[in-house]
Each structure stands twice: as C-alpha cells, then as structure tokens.
Amino acid sequence: MKAAMSLVGSQGIFSATEVFLVAAIFCLVFLLIQSFRQHVPKGLKSPPGPRGYPILGNVLELRKDTHLALTRLSQKYGDVMEVRIGTRPVLVLSGLDTIKQALVKQGEDFMGRPDLYSFRHVADGQSLAFSPDSGEVWKARRKLAQNALKTFSIAPSPTSSSTCLLEEHISKEADYLVTKFLQLMDEEKSFDPYRYLVVSVANVICAMCFGKRYDHNDQELLNIVNVSDQFSNAAAAGNPADFIPVLRYLPSRTMSLFKDFNKRFLHFVQKIVQEHYKTYDKNNIRDITDSLIEQCLQKKVEANTATQVPKEKVVNLVNDLFGAGFDSVTTGLSWSLMYLVTYPDIQKKIQEELDQTIGRERRPRLSDRGTLPYTEAFILEMFRHSSFLPFTIPHSTTRDTVLNGYYIPKDRCVFVNQWQVNHDEKLWKDPLTFNPERFLSAGGTEVSKEDGEKVLVFGLGKRKCIGELIARCQVFLFLSTLLQQLEFSVCNGKKVDMTQLYGLSLKHKRCKHFQVKQRFAMKGMN
C-alpha cells in the first residue's frame, strides 16, 4: 500500500488513500460473498492451505521464487492445496501421481486456461497456448498445428535421404555456432554464448515456419529473441497483476515491457505471414506458414469445419509455434553449458562417449540418441536439476470435479508445480545434487525409461507442449555437435553464477567469461 501511495504526488495522497479504501472494502465484501457461495458437496472437503491476509491473500509469501515458496507450503498442506493471490483462490498441484491424475486421467477436467490479464496480451488474446478456449474448435486447430509442425520436421531433407528436415536445420546451425565460437575466441578471448545460442535456435524454427534463416546481426530478429525475458517475467505463474485488478492501473515497468514485447513479436510474425500470402503457390508448399495458409484457402467444405483456419488465425498459430520454438530450447542449452563448465569431469565423460561411439569423421545424428546413454542422462539431469520450466502455463478446471477427495469447482485457476516433482525426495535421492548417473542402469549402458518419465518439463496431458519432441531433438543435436568439436570452460579466476532468476522460465545470470578450445581439426565432416 505504501509503495503504491509513494507513486502519487503529495497533492494526491488523500485521494489515492480513498481509492484504496474503497477497493479494500469492495474486496472484503466480495470475499465474504464468495465464502458463502462456495458450496462443497456432502462427503467432500475443500483443499487445505495457508490463511493469508485480507485483500492480499498469500501474495507476500509468493512474491519471490514462487516455485520454492509453493514447494515449501506443499510439504505442510499436501499435494492438493489452495492459496489465494489477492482474493482469487488458486489450486496448487504437487506430487507426480497427483499431477498425472489431474492432467492425464482427469485431463478433460483440468485442460482449461484461466482468463488472466497477462494472457490477453499474447497474440491479441488469440494465442493457442494461452487462450481460455478449450472447445472442439481449439482442439481441431491445435491438432492442425501439431500436424504442420510434424510434417516440416520429419519430412526427408532435399539434400540427403538419410536425414530429415529438422536434423538438417539443427546441424547447419550447430556447425555455424562451432565456427562462430572459435572466431570469437580469436577476436575477444572470451564471450557470452547465450547471445549466439538464441539466434541459432530461433533460426531452426524460422527455417521450419518461414523457410528462411536470419543473420546473427539481423536487428529485427535480435530485438525479439534477445529480450524474451520481457515476456517470461510477466507471464510467470503468480504475477500479482493477474489476480489483483487494482495493480493493472498502477505504473509497472514489467507489464509495459511485456505488452510492448508482444506487440513487436506479433508485428514481426504478421509481416512474414503477409509476405507468404503474396508469394503463396499451392503447388509449392514451402514451410509451416504455407501449410496453414493452404488450410485457410481451402474451398472444399469438409465434414468437420472446425479444422478450417480463418485467415486471421494463421498469424496466431504461427505466432505460437515460433514463440514456443526458441525460448525453452535456448534456456535448456544455456543451462547445459553452465553445468558443463561447473562440472568439467562430466563434460569429459560426454566427450569420451562421443569419441567412442561417433568418432571424429562424421557429425552426430538424431539416430545416435539411443547409443549415447551418458549424453542422454546428462540432458535429463539438466532438465530435472534446473527445472527451468518450474510450472506449466496455468491450467483451469472446465467443470466441477474431485481430486484426491477434494472438491474443485469449475473455473478454478490451477498451478502445476513441476519444480517440486523434479526435486521430490520421494522420487530422487539427493535431489539437490547434480548427478547424471542417476538415470543410468548399473552398467551405465542404458537410460532408465521409467526414471526419465518422472522428469516434468513440458507438461502432461491435453495441454502438453506441442513442440516437446522437436525441443528434445534440438537440445540433443546442438549439444552433441558442440561437445564433439569444442571444449568449454571459463576464464581463470572466474565462476558462473547458477542463481536462478524466476519467471515463466528460470534463467541464470548471463556470463561473459566463456572460453572454447577446439578438440580436433575438422576435415570436412559428413
């Protein structure tokens, strides 16, 4: 309250106080009415949770490192608990079995999205991923987007019958990164790899969505991919502005940057889609955007008209596919490099495995995944230990339901705590220790599929990230290509800071002290 009042000049303090008093009275009355309205059927009970403060609810407890705060609370109140952010109740799910029960076994009940203030600014409120809509039209268009993504990833490469389009795009960008990192070492002696990772990863999805790649100095692309934290900060689970309406009318740098980012991002995609409409040729479907335009222009009336894509929806679908295609992969790769320089012995083991299995005469391929168990185990442990996607995008109940004996009403906002699962002592021995071996069989020759499936990264059920397979392929192929040819370290006397910065995805502080050393002279690898 004091912080809000300090934003008002001395001449306006009393009027601001009056406004807040009226808001406070309104919220208290609303809360009282809601408490009378919520009817819990006989034999059931409401989820337990902390009491919180009037008006604010539990927002003060959750204001910093929300994933850690909710994990601590779940230890006291259980896997199904309820907190309040402002006056709005939020269901928080923890525990692998409970989350699977909700998102998979009762998937229809929990597949909604809450109508949050920040969500309304993503793709003008028409985002496939953030939209509150979960009906038949939404399902049909999600499936359409999945099919387009799949088609332009597994399709054979035009230059090699043994590789797919996705593999060709990733390998090309990974090779570029190797060359770029070595060039930077010659010029600057140390560098920040994130700046280059993000463009190369974005270029993979650009190739699939737009049929083109961008130069690493392209300012239009850099203005988007280099400031993705402006999106992550506001879209994080627990943003007070999503739950306390009065905050939307106060100056907020975070929300201003978020709105501006979404406008620039949508404009970037709109421009490309418009160009595709001008050059569209039904006999030459070049990329995902063309594929979606084809559906839009299709004149034949199908039995299920929900699969038809209105012209204005093409931009929104492309916006979602492109937006989801670079941030999570870049964050995963960036965390990988942080772990590799922090644990050089682990880096060495991965490189020994690459040398023994692949050698130095050819590049790694996606088909190598099953033959590189230590590399795969490292990636799984990076996903688990960093948990850089601490929550799924918030869910919402589509109808009244019951979970673990607790009554959950329709339209209840739901947070799914992936970080808790990935650090649950019931599932993992010494969960705070970084240890890839935990995923390997006794002989170290195979990755435990059962343990791998316990790691939550991309969600579960009907709202699961549609780009999960592509993201996993990118992390594997980028990482194996880089480590086959380069050795990563930091400058003498320097250390990386592994402190996690909370947002929709957990970032780390950028490090400008990375160094690379070429492991062997390249001989025109295949």
Cα separation, 94 vs 78, whole angstroms: 8
DSSP annotation string for 310-371: -HHHHHHHHHHHHHHHHHHHHHHHHHHHHHHHH-HHHHHHHHHHHHHHT-SSS---GGGGGG
**Which amino acid belongs to residue 213?**
R
Q: How many residues does the chain have?
A: 526
- In angstroms, the CA 129 to CA 459 distance is 12
Q: Please report the sign of the dihedral spanned by the C-alpha atoms of residue 35, residue 40, residue 43, residue 49.
A: negative
DSSP string, 154-167: HSBPSS-TTSBHHH
Return the SS3 of 172. helix
Nearest Cα neighbor of 336 from 486, 229, 163 is 486
Residue 447 β-bridge partners? 440
Give residues with Cβ within 8 angstroms of 369, minimum separation 6. 376, 476
Please classify residue 489 by burial: count the beta carbons closer than 10 Å to its beta carbon, then call 0-12 exposed, 13-18 middle and 19+ buried.
middle
Are 207 and 90 in contact, with CB atoms under 8 Å apart? no
Tokens of 169: 């795009």
Contacts of residues 432-436 at CB distance under 8 Å and 24 or more positions apart, as own/partner, are 434/339, 434/342, 434/343, 434/381, 434/385, 435/381, 436/346, 436/374, 436/377, 436/378, 436/380, 436/381
What's the longest Cα–Cα distance across the chain?
A: 75
Six-digit token string for 415: 């947070």
Q: How many CB atoms lie within 10 A of CB 308?
A: 19
Do the annotations mark residue 465 as ligand-binding?
yes
Structure tokens, 471 = 């993201």
The side-by-side arrangement of strands in the sheet containing 88-93 is 80-85, 88-93, 413-416, 395-396
Q: Pairing between strand 88-93 and 413-416?
A: parallel
Tokens representing 233?
């900060």
| Among the listed residues 418, 143, 187, 440, the one whose alpha carbon sits nearest the alpha carbon of residue 295 | 143
Detail the residues annotated as belonging to a binding site for heme: 465
Detail the residues annotated as belonging to a binding site: 465
